[in-house]
Structure 1
Amino acid sequence: MPKSFPNAQTIPVGVAVRRTPGVTRWAKHAWRVSAVLPGAGAADWKLLRTEGDVAEFHAATLPLTLYVSDAEAYAHELQTRDPSIYIILRQNEAASDFPWKVAVVTASPYEAQDYCDSSEELVEKIPMPEGLHAWVLEFVENFYEEEAFVKRRRKNMNVDQVEDGIGDPRIRQVSDVYRAPRRKVALN
């Protein structure tokens, strides 16, 4: 059930992570976010299924919060070919069988880009499920107002009567017609 605040709405979203065998001798396993589960209950690396060496876990459930101030970002994401949810994973510092922990779930491509600038997090892009897409779309329709483009106009100024600024003041010549005039300083 989504929670509503004056400037935000929140829904819990579960994150499913798939573990596959590594392809090099240096990486025992490869980890990828495989799905998001809107409205999921709490979980801490709960095993969902296994197929041979591949295992899928419900890694965590975090709140997905939509803010009115970020409505433009959500609108841009909904206009893409494949609207997505972004999951940010951080390395797990604690000694554990799971090297990643789910840090953030967001629908904002701008916020995800900020996390991409750092090499410490892993940013995963997952297609937005239909129900979540409808929820984000309703939020954008309710709160996003596109700003009208207003072209600035120059002030009407008559600049053809003054020759200030013509010439290069770095060139020292006695009679340079194009050099900017200098003000003489009176010595006391």
Structure 2
Amino acid sequence: MEVEITRHVGIVLEKRKSTHRWGGDIWTPVAILVDPPQTGGWQEIETGEERRLFQYGPVALTLHRKMGEAYDANIETENPALWVMLDDADTEPVPYKVRGVTVDPYEAMGVLDSGEGLVERMPVPVEILHWMVDYLKQMPDPEKFRKRRRVSHKTEEQKFGKIPIFEQGGRREGDEHDG
């Protein structure tokens, strides 16, 4: 089994005008492309009165052997998800740079908790889901939990002839130096 495998996807981002008088534009990822074209950055693919669509690709989607539990947790939900993670940027025409795409819910939660950028949950395309399941089938069963046996602790012999402060007979017991 490979330690990690990577597949490339594309992101389609939608820009809509806000209906609120103080709101700006609303940006939302709306689609994941399974076989993305090479765009070299954000590329406008549709312009209309109500919305504009931008495409970005390819973006690496990587599965790692040690994250099997997280992928299982994602697949076992009613609606397996993929998360698009975008960081704020001062760029035109799209004010975001791509941080990544993940199927690891714990990674997405960590980025979401930071409060930076945009993290959007999207349904996993069927092809990606099959790719994930095939990888998870190759994973060995996790090791059973075994409690470690305690090892007795040996205290170190004190050097320089002093008794440790907190042991019987130490300075704290009689505290003759309080002054």
Q: Same fold (TM over 0.5)?
A: yes
**Match for residue 59 of structure 2 among 39, 58, 62:** 62
Contact 1:68 1:144 in 2 (8 A): no
State the Cα distance separating 1:97 from its structure 2 match.
Answer: 2.4
What is the CA distance between 1:53 and its match in structure 2? 1.7
- What aligned pairs does 1:1-188 form with structure 2 within 5 A after superposition? 6-43=2-39, 44-94=41-91, 96-143=92-139, 145-149=141-145, 152=147, 183-184=168-169
The superposition leaves residues 72-118 of structure 1 with CA deviations (integer Å, 9 ceiling, x where unpaired) of: 11111110110011111111134x22111221111111111111121
Query: Structure 2-normalised TM-score?
Result: 0.76
Question: Does the C-alpha gap of structure 1 residues 8 and 118 become closer, same or farther in structure 2, counting only changes over 3 Å?
Answer: same
RMSD: 2.6
Whole-angstrom distance in 2 between the partners of 1:126 and 1:10: 19
- Aligned residues with identical type, % of pairs: 27
CA contact (8 A) 1:16 1:58 kept: yes
Structure 1 segments, 4+ long, off by >6 Å, are none
Corresponding residue pairs, total: 155
**Structure 1: gaps (5+ residues):** 156-181
Partners of 1:146 and 1:80 lie apart in 2 by: 20
Unmatched runs of 5 consecutive residues or more in structure 2: 151-166, 175-179
TM-score computed with the length of structure 1 as normaliser: 0.72
